[in-house]
Amino acid sequence: MSVLRDGGADIVDAVGRPRAALLALLEDADALIVRSETRVDDELLAAGPRLAVVGRAGVGVDAIDLGAATKRGIVVLNTPGGNTLAATEQTFALMLNLVRHTTRAHQRLQRGEWSRRDLVGTELAGKTIGIIGIGRVGSNVCTRARAFGMHVLAYDPFVSQARAEALGAKLVDLETLLRNADFVSLHAPRTRQTQDMLGTRELALMKRGARLINCARGGLVVEEALFAALDSGHLAGAAIDVVRDEPPPEGGTARKLHAHPNVVATPHLGGSTHEALARIATDLARDVLAVLGGRPPVAAVNAPVAPADEVRPFVDLAYVLGSLYPQIAARATLPSFSLTLEGELAKYPAEPFVAAFLVGLLQHMSDRRVTAVNAQEIAHEMGIAVEPLVARCERGFAAGLALRGGETSVAGTIVHGEQLRLVEIDGYEIDVEPRGALIATRHRDIPGIVGKVGTVLGAAGINISNMQVARDGVDGIAIMVIGVGDAPGAEVLEQLRALDGLEAVRCIVFDR
């Protein structure tokens, strides 16, 4: 909560309150943060006319009506990476418990019994694990399974053979995986395609004596079929952290699974570590503040395409270029734009960069709430087109973004992995951090201009933090970019424009 408070947010704790109270509170809310227990349907979203963002403290967004949120322009966030390590370790905690009978042995000792009868375990080394879904958690399970000396098979229709091989896994089809794995571990999201993906037929394909682990999502396995496979002895055991309905209803199949002697179960503890909860809270708070501040978030579920981790600073840069353009462009009308992904960026999808650029641009052009969710739609209504291009980066950087609109062009890059830099304005080479307030001038390249500008700013009590001058060497025209502590008022800007030799003066303010 400290991250939210430090970011200027007022927090109302609605934990444990009835739904009617939550509906009333949403009338004045700009953001809503929930756990999996809260069902965010259209009625709830409609109760928040100012609602800009819904954040899910966790991975799954099954309880959030994504379609209704997208229609209303509300960004839905989750925290896909916050509990990766916790869920990975929970997978092995349950797997080892299952094969070493830890819970049963502990229960005997609690009853005062010292008995090792029927508690002989099974080693993981040399066994084959089949991992269904090798995303964040699945890939971490793969790495650790190899450390245990296991052979790894993987099934994931969205992953290439090269990616699987880099993880040390053999990519196979689902049937091959089920037939050959001693352990099957689920790490897929719950979607219409994966719902009930393991039923009676699929469980029957598994080796007799195999074991199933599910620390992913409830509903991936048909619970009745799993109970039957365990009860018949076809499967030696199952370790489950999740079930279809949580908490499971009295008398349901999930309750029977939890009571089965060959099942090790926990009440959805996969992400419940102190470290994971802290990461989730911090990551989500930062993303919520980003949306409320009009900036692109890191993990928007209903954004066009989620950016890869390594290019997220460039997505922020795209937003900065969008915010910069209307503050420096000479023409008030909006032309068609080109956004060029240069160098190593060329191999990534353009959608996140275009969406972030539009969010930065349109917040200066529209009084509507603009987010990554509705930016494309608003741009289309306003007749704004953005053409994504790819090209080599010829400025000496490994990657960069270049924007052109009408007669105005700007470019930027990332240095040291996270620092944003503007490196070109209208063909003039610069090196400026886009932060705070800047004054940009276009002037004749004659002696005395810099001094005159400094005199005006000094008289107005405006401190200069840095200054750069770039010349074209042909037309005798130069630009000057000045970092200032505070944005100058209209009167100061008019004094600068009145200086002999200055052709244009603009104040640029970044919300970073």
Give the confidence band of 7 by pLDDT, cuts at 50, 70, 90.
confident
pLDDT at position 204 is 97
pLDDT at position 143 is 96
- Of 416, 434, 452, the residue at which a domain comes to its end is 434
Q: Are residues 225 and 94 in the same domain?
A: yes
Q: Are residues 259 and 314 in the same domain?
A: no
pLDDT over threshold 70, residue 335: no
Residue in this structure with the two tokens 């424009």, named with its chain if needed: 497
Helix (H, G, I), strand (E, B) or coil at 425: strand
Find the catalytic residue in 72, 187, 244, 268.
Answer: 268
Percent of the chain scored above 90 by pLDDT? 47
Find the catalytic residue in 113, 123, 246, 387.
Answer: 246
Which residue range forms the structural domain that includes residue 488?
Answer: 437-509
CATH of the domain at 137: 3.40.50.720
Q: Are residues 56 and 136 in the same domain?
A: no
16-35 per-position pLDDT tens digit: 888 899 999 999 999 999 88
Find the catalytic residue in 56, 101, 136, 217.
Answer: 217
Q: Are residues 486 and 412 in the same domain?
A: no
CATH of the domain at 395: 3.30.1330.90
Q: Are residues 289 and 312 in the same domain?
A: no
pLDDT over threshold 70, residue 332: no
pLDDT at position 402 is 94
Cα gap 257→267, rounded to integer Å? 12
Beta strands 399-405 and 337-343: pairing type? antiparallel
pLDDT at position 368 is 60
Cα gap 356→323, rounded to integer Å? 10
| Sign of the four-CA dihedral 417, 421, 424, 429 | negative
Is residue 217 annotated as part of the catalytic site, yes or no? yes
- Of 375, 406, 434, the residue at which a domain comes to its end is 434
Q: Of 27-41, 294-308, 350-364, 465-479, give the lowest mean pLDDT range.
A: 294-308
Cα gap 139→126, rounded to integer Å? 19
Q: Are residues 219 and 233 in the same domain?
A: yes
337-389 per-position pLDDT tens digit: 999 999 999 888 898 899 889 988 887 766 566 777 777 777 876 678 899 99
Residues 6+ apart with CB under 8 A from 193: none
- Of 385, 407, 434, the residue at which a domain comes to its end is 434
Q: Are residues 365 and 389 in the same domain?
A: yes
Q: Are residues 184 and 163 in the same domain?
A: yes
Cα gap 186→172, rounded to integer Å? 15
- The mean pLDDT of 448-476, rounded to a whole number, is 85
Alpha helix segments (H runs only) across 18-83: 19-25, 42-46, 66-71
Q: Which helix (H) or strand (E) holds 62?
A: none
Q: Are residues 6 and 36 in the same domain?
A: yes
pLDDT at position 369 is 62
Helix (H, G, I), strand (E, B) or coil at 471: strand
pLDDT at position 512 is 58
405-442 per-position pLDDT tens digit: 888 899 999 988 788 999 999 888 999 899 889 999 88
Cβ-based neighbour number of residue 219 at 10 Å: 19
Q: Are residues 50 and 105 in the same domain?
A: no
pLDDT at position 300 is 78
Is residue 392 annotated as part of the catalytic site, yes or no? no
pTM of the model: 0.59
Residue type at 393? Answer: C
* Residues paired with residue 51 on neighbouring β-strands, in sequence order: none
pLDDT over threshold 80, residue 249: yes
50-108 per-position pLDDT tens digit: 999 999 887 777 788 888 887 788 889 888 778 889 999 999 999 999 999 999 999 99
Backbone phi and psi for residue 184, each to the nearest 5 degrees, phi listed first: -120, 120
Average per-residue pLDDT in the chain? Answer: 88
Cα gap 437→281, rounded to integer Å? 31
pLDDT over threshold 80, residue 315: yes
Structure tokens at 31: 């953001």
174-215 per-position pLDDT tens digit: 999 999 999 999 998 887 678 899 999 999 999 999 999 999
pLDDT at position 306 is 60
Q: Total domain count for the chain?
A: 4
Q: Are residues 354 and 496 in the same domain?
A: no
Q: Are residues 318 and 415 in the same domain?
A: yes
pLDDT at position 331 is 61
Is residue 246 annotated as part of the catalytic site, yes or no? yes
